[in-house]
Every structure is written in C-alpha cells, then in structure tokens.
Amino acid sequence: MTNIKKLLTIGVCTASAALASGVGMAQESGWDTAGFVENATFYRDGRGLSKSRNTAQFEFSKDFGKRMGMNNFRLSGTLRATYDAVYDLNEDEFGKKAGGPRSFENFGSTTAQALFGGDGSSPWGFSILGNGGAAAGNPIPPGFLFDVGSNPNDGLAVLGEEFHDPRGGVTIGVPLRPCDTDSRGCGLEDYMDWDLNELRFPDFNDHLDFIRELYIEGSVATGDTSELFLRIGKQQVVWGRTDLFRVLDIINPVDFARHNIYDELEDIRIPQWIASAEFRWGAVGAFDDLNLQFVWNFDEFRPNNLGQGGSPYSILDAGSFFRAMNNCWENGCTVSNFVPAAAIGLDDPGLIAADFAPNVIGIRQVDLPEWKLSNTQGGVKLEGVYKDVGFSLNYYHFFQQLPVLRGDIESVNAFTGEVADWDHLIAFDINFPEVDLLGGSLDLYVDSLKSVVRVEAAYTQGEEFANTLEADLYSDSDVFRWVLGVDRNTFIPFLNKKRAFLISGQIFGEHLLDHELEQAALGPVGIPNWKDNYIATLLIKGWYKSDTISPQVIMAWDYEAGAGTIAPSVDWLINDNWRLIAGFNIKVGDGMGDQEFDDCRACNPFPPFTATPAHADPFQSGSVGLGGIEPLGRFRSGPLGSASEEDEFQVTLRYRF
C-alpha cells in the first residue's frame, strides 16, 4: 500500500469521524447499513471442487446533510472479506499438493521412444537437448541445462494439459502450488505471486482490497437546477451500457480470478482511489439532461487480475503461461517438441524437448507503472439526454489493463552464452502501455420493435499485442470496439401467462486496424488475435411467484473461436434474507485445442544455430510460422474457448442482513 493511499484512507476515515461528531449538522440521516454472508460452492467436471468461497460484505453510508459548503454530504463504504476454502478442501488440484511430476512430448522422436519408452515423453529436466542428453554423455550447449535440484519435477502441470494434448506443439511445465509452497514462477513482483493466504483471503492484501469502497461526496448548487457534484475516495466509476464484456467500462480494472467473466462487474471491479467532479446542468438548451464528468484515477496502477497458475480461474489460462515463463527465466524449464531431433545431428524425424537454462527464454519481470503524478489516469465524459436518446461521449487516458509481452530484453544466447537483446527471442518483460480511448454510447427506445437499443463504441490508440512478425514480438494497433444491445420484454405464454421474459441480446465487435498477418513457409505469422471478431450474448430471464423464483439462461458465442457458453440457473429468493442460486456453466464448441498459431519455435533467435531449412538466410532471425496450440492459441480461443474444460455446477447461498 502506497503512502498516499494510507493517507487517503486515514483522511476519509478521519473526515467521517469528524462528521460523525456532529459539528454543524443539518438534515443528517442515520447510518444506512446492509450486508450479507454468502457461500458459493462450485464443482468442476474432472477437477472436483473449484470454489468454496465464503464472503461477508458490509455496506454503510450516512448522509450528513449540509457540510463544508456542500449539500447532501455523504460518506459511503463497502467492506468485504472472502475466504475461498477450495485451496484447503481440494488441495490436490488447487492447493499445496497440486500438480506432480510431468513428462514432455518428443513428437515422433524415435530416439526419445528408445530412451524413455512409453509414448516417448521425457521427464521434466531430462530432455535429450538438455540434462538428459548431458547425462548420456552428449555435448549440450550451456543454454540447455538447468538445475533440477532447485527446479524439481514436482508440483507441475503441463501448460494447457486440462485443455489439450501437446499435438507436436510446445508446452512448458507450470508450477501450480501457492507461492509460499513453491516459489517457482512467482518472481514477478506484485503480479501473480500470491501465497496460500493471499489465495484463500484475496481481499486481504497490500492494496487493502477488503475496503471495497470508501468515499465521501457532496454537491454544490450552481443554480436552481444545476450543481457541481464531487466524489473522492476508493470507488468504482462505471461508464457504458453493456453487460459481461466491457467497451467503455474501463476505469476500474477487473478481477477475473474471482469467477472469470461471469460474476457481476459490481463484484469484480477492482476499486481505485479516484476523484470525480461532475457538472450537472440538468435540462439545458436542447438537452433534457446534460452532465460533464471529470475523472482522475490517482491510485497506483493496477492491471486486471487474470488469476495465477494453479488457481481455479485464470482467464485465457494466462496465469499458467506467465508463471511457467517466469520459472523458465529464473530457474530454467523444459519445453516440449522444441527442436527437430535432426538439428542436433540425430537420425530422427521427430521433435525433441529442450531444457532451457535460466535467463535464456521466459518472462524476466513485470514493469508495473510506479505511482507518480504523470502515471495517474483520467478522462472526461459528456453525458445527457437529447430528444429521447441517452448519449455519452467519453475520453480516457489509461494504462492497458491486460499485459503485453515485450521481447526487447537482454538474455543469454543458449549456444554461445553471449548476452544481448536477441531479436525474435521469446524472452520478455511484461508491460502495460499507455492507451487513449475515445468513445461514445447511446440508448433509445424503438417503439416499432418494443425494444431498447444500446450502442457503445470505442476507438483506442496505444494498445499492444503479441506479433511474431516483429523483432520484439509485439506491436501496437489501433482498435475499434463496439457493441449493439437490444432488450425486449416478451411474453412467452406457454411458459408464463402473467409475466414477461426479459430477452437481452448483445453483439460485440472488435477490429484491429493495424493487424498484421502473413503466410510464412510453415504457417501464418503475425498477431494471433483475430483482425475482426464478434461475440454474441443472449440472456433470457423469467420470473415466477412474485419474482421470488427467477430462472435464466445466459449464452455467449465467440464467432471466430467457435466457442460458447451456456449458463442456465435458477435464483430462488427464499425470503427477504435468504437467497439460493443453483446453475450450470457449460462450455460448448471448440476448445483451446482447436486453435493454433505461430509459437516462435522457428523464429531463429540465435542464428545460425536455430535456423531451419525454411529460413532462406540462416543468419537472419524471424519466424517461418511453425505453430502449435501453445502459447498463442489462447488469444484465438478467447475467454470462452480457453475455458473449454471448465464445465461447472454452481450453488450459491446468501443471507442478507
């Protein structure tokens, strides 16, 4: 926790204490409090318990009336404590005993078959190009040896093993256990480095996330119907009009580790210390309502929480990939199918695994923007209602909340030991580039359709993406995103004659304006993300028994990934206090295993040693497009396809008070 946040926390608390002391009170209300305790238990097919999350949340607010020259001066806060028992109850999958020894594919290798038997897979740290070869007395370059004593074959999974077989592609060993049990791959400071207690109690961390919100607000009248509204503190600022996927709602980062994309954004936005000022003119000129909001996120930058290798929810399985790669950098690692056996002089048509030494490939560090004034984020929104159409125009300057891997770091040449910034080498730092977003939204009611239409669009500059065409393996691209939503209440008489169903459909579009993709000798090369992609969502929700029983189904379909989700559930409001939700989350369509992309095995980063016959100039680095599922197939699978093996039955019981 930074000093400024400590000061702010103390400041807001002190302000509230001073206000509560009752000096100069006017129209003061009592404390408004509410809260709940909840258990969410999810069972995942093939893995067993995937969540046993116990949450207690307490909300409070108090209107102090007129204070400090402001009307309706209010203090509000939300405290949350979460204990996810899955790390204790299913520790074989997600806790201290997760993972185990793993072997890595040597696809089609007759040598490996002879050496290792079975399917020819070689144990972690015992590859033919590596420790295994050295043990057999073969000369092995120094960049292909690592210490198995400190980086043992235990507590591991093979990257993507839940989703697909290696199929001749690269895979890496992923340490799964919490970082206090197994520190491998936990070397990214303040990023995906949680110990067991941080996983169990995710709200209790250095950022004081148990304080979900704590802010003060008030308004200053600027006219009969206009006012200046001010709010400062830890809070969520919500822009946009869409559900599930975000286009304009980007001010607060999101905690996908809580339950991927499926929890309400209210519960997974990561609150930030933000000051906002809003001029509310009300009805003015031709506008029924007009407001101008300035937002200044002066908090330390925090990226989206993507989960951690070994945790049950890791969107795009990115946490596993990052942890595996950080381990590669720090301790070395085995990578399956990395090298043609013939490349090391074997009379063998297959591919063999390689044991990389530390500091050759992997992820070296994360460059989280440090707190300084110039690193704060902010924007402006003009919002109003004009001729029955609600609209907003938005601008926001921020740091990309999803990480990008920049391959412009110095590393060790596996063959020569030389340290340099090698082009096309899969050795990275994680970065979060600055992004400018310009967008807008509108909603209107279309009487002929009896429907509400919602539109959002955003154009960003500065986002960065993986790009195997580039020497540093990334490039930036302007991006245009949009969403069209239609909400309609419709009677479905055979299901309910007295109550209409809500049918809400959305289509999200994403277009990368600077997308690059070329066909190389062995396959496509460039940006793995789709140039154009569309995700459709559909919600059908009904109500029975005075809305105490509400069945619904949420469906989502990623067009290019060919992957989708069907999530039927029933929400039973037992009484004003108790609520039970039971449902399934079933993935359909293609999984991660159905998407392949250039994996940079054939990038020739250490020319001429790593050149392939497809390289016209063996002294020139660059990819010739040999691909596999890992690691970039995840970008083509998207959040739906990359969770293809996460079918779950979910029960949530909540008691409100």
Partner 1 sequence: MLKKTLATAVLLSAASSFIAEAATLEDVEASFYPYKDTVPTFEGLSTGMTINSGNVEQFAEILDPAVYQMLKDGWFEMKVGDTTSFDLHPNYVEATRKGLGQVALGDELGQINGFVAGRPFPEEPDMSDPRAGEKLAWNYKYGYNWGDNAAIYPFYWRYRDMDSGKVERTIKFNFHFLNYMHRVNQEPVPQFADNPSELFRAIYVQVLEPFDVKNTQLLIHRAEDDLKRDNTWLYLGFQRRVRRLSSGQITDSFLGADIMIEDFEGYNGRISDMNWTYKGTKNIMLPFFNHNDMDLATDLVESDGYQFVDFGGKGGCYPNITWQLRKVYVLESDPKDDNHPISKRTHFVDAQTFTLPRTLIYDRKGDLWKSWLIGQAHPDHHLEKNKGTGVAIDDAFSMVDVQAGHCTTGQFKGQVDPELNPVKIFTVQNMRSKGR
CA-angle at 131, arms to 129 and 133, nearest 5°: 50
CA distance 457 to 20: 43
- Which residues on neighbouring strands pair with residue 653, listed in sequence order? 39, 580
Q: For residue 219, which amino acid is it? A: S
Nearer to partner 1, 194 or 215 (CB): 215
Nearer to partner 1, 248 or 527 (CB): 248
Nearer to partner 1, 375 or 496 (CB): 496
How far, CA to CA in Å, does 221 sit from each of 117, 200, 217, 226, 521? 80, 46, 14, 6, 68
Shortest distance, position 32 Cβ to partner 1, whole Å? 8
Shortest distance, position 453 Cβ to partner 1, whole Å? 9
Task: Answer for the pair 630, 169: CB distance below 8 angstroms, yes or no.
Answer: yes
Nearer to partner 1, 280 or 615 (CB): 280
Task: Answer for the pair 379, 369: CB distance below 8 angstroms, yes or no.
Answer: no
Q: For residue 28, which amino acid is it? A: E
Nearer to partner 1, 64 or 321 (CB): 64
Shortest distance, position 566 Cβ to partner 1, whole Å? 22
Nearer to partner 1, 206 or 267 (CB): 267
Shortest distance, position 498 Cβ to partner 1, whole Å? 7
Q: Is the dihedral of CA 192, 198, 199, 202 positive or negative?
A: negative
Task: Answer for the pair 357, 144: CB distance below 8 angstroms, yes or no.
Answer: yes
CA distance 607 to 516: 24
Beta strands 227-235 and 272-284, pairing class: antiparallel
Shortest distance, position 230 Cβ to partner 1, whole Å? 10
Beta strands 501-512 and 419-420, pairing class: unpaired
Task: Answer for the pair 307, 315: CB distance below 8 angstroms, yes or no.
Answer: yes
SS3 state of residue 360:
coil
Task: Answer for the pair 125, 133: CB distance below 8 angstroms, yes or no.
Answer: no
Shortest distance, position 574 Cβ to partner 1, whole Å? 10
Task: Answer for the pair 476, 462: CB distance below 8 angstroms, yes or no.
Answer: yes
User: Which residue from 585, 530, 532, 537 is spatially nearest to 557, judged by alpha carbons?
Assistant: 537
Task: Answer for the pair 625, 546: CB distance below 8 angstroms, yes or no.
Answer: no
Helix, strand, coil: what percent of the chain each, to 5? 15, 45, 45
Nearer to partner 1, 157 or 567 (CB): 567
Using CB under 8 A, list all residues that contact partner 1. 32, 34-36, 61, 76, 213, 217, 224-227, 229, 231, 236, 238, 240-241, 243, 264-266, 278, 280, 282-289, 291, 383, 385, 387-388, 390, 443-445, 447, 450-452, 454, 487-491, 498-500, 502, 543, 546-548, 573, 575-577, 579, 656-657
Dig out the tokens for 631 from the structure.
């690691």
Nearer to partner 1, 372 or 387 (CB): 387
Shortest distance, position 82 Cβ to partner 1, whole Å? 17
597 half-sphere exposure, CB direction, 13 A CA radius: 23
Helices H, strands E: what count in the chain? 9, 33
CA distance 476 to 433: 9
Shortest distance, position 59 Cβ to partner 1, whole Å? 8
SS3 state of residue 125:
coil
Shortest distance, position 33 Cβ to partner 1, whole Å? 10
Shortest distance, position 442 Cβ to partner 1, whole Å? 10
Nearer to partner 1, 278 or 429 (CB): 278
Nearer to partner 1, 344 or 554 (CB): 554
CA distance 474 to 432: 12
Nearer to partner 1, 418 or 547 (CB): 547
Dig out the tokens for 512 from the structure.
């990368």
User: Which residue from 320, 337, 258 is spatially nearest to 98, judged by alpha carbons?
Assistant: 320
Nearer to partner 1, 6 or 450 (CB): 450
Shortest distance, position 219 Cβ to partner 1, whole Å? 8
